[in-house]
Amino acid sequence: MNTINIPERAKRYLQEISSQLEDSSYLFIERNNKAYCIEAVKGSYFIQDATTNIGDVLQLNQGGAPLAILANMEMSRQSEIFDLLNLSPSEIQYFFKRLEIIRNNGYAFSSNEVTLGTAAIGVPIFNHEGIVVAALSVGAIEARFSNERLPKIVEVLKDAGNKLSNEIGWLSK
């Protein structure tokens, strides 16, 4: 059986992202209802967040990459995950609205959710069936995500995410 090595294929995109933005970039996958960081490239910006490392595990309802994955799962899977997290009905309602916005925008923005003073943006990676299989993200100190810089970060990430998705068989919309 031929399998696609997503981490191997993602490395050059992570390097391009970090090279263009000077911030750290990450590849996350979902396993057992959690998000795992499986690849990372440190940025060259003189202030590093140093909060996310290969092997780190996050809940799917916090952080740029985990939220990008969760937002693009089927609604039934989202509900299962919310049940596992013991979220209140009002929290579930909040997340369903937030996930819809993320899905419509094509990226997730997270600020102060994982570590105070940091932020991240994540974009989904889709396989040949259009199923979300991973997410690319950029993480840095919160000040790096200014309103002026945000469009550039989103553009670079979306471009890399679309190219990686296409490379593994997804036919973009």
CATH number for the domain harbouring residue 56: 3.30.450.40
Write out the residue range of the structural domain in which residue 88 sits: 6-167
172 lies in some domain = no
Residue 107 pLDDT > 90, yes or no? yes
For residue 140, give every residue at least 6 positions away whose Cβ sits within 8 Å of its Cβ, in sequence order, or none.
Answer: 23, 24, 43, 45, 47, 48, 49, 118, 119, 120
Average pLDDT over residues 117-135: 94
Residue 1 pLDDT > 50, yes or no? no
24 lies in some domain = yes
Q: What is the pLDDT of residue 110?
A: 95
What phi, psi does 158 have (nearest 5°)? Answer: -60, -40
48 lies in some domain = yes
Q: What is the pLDDT of residue 43?
A: 77
173 lies in some domain = no
Domain total of the chain? 1
45 lies in some domain = yes
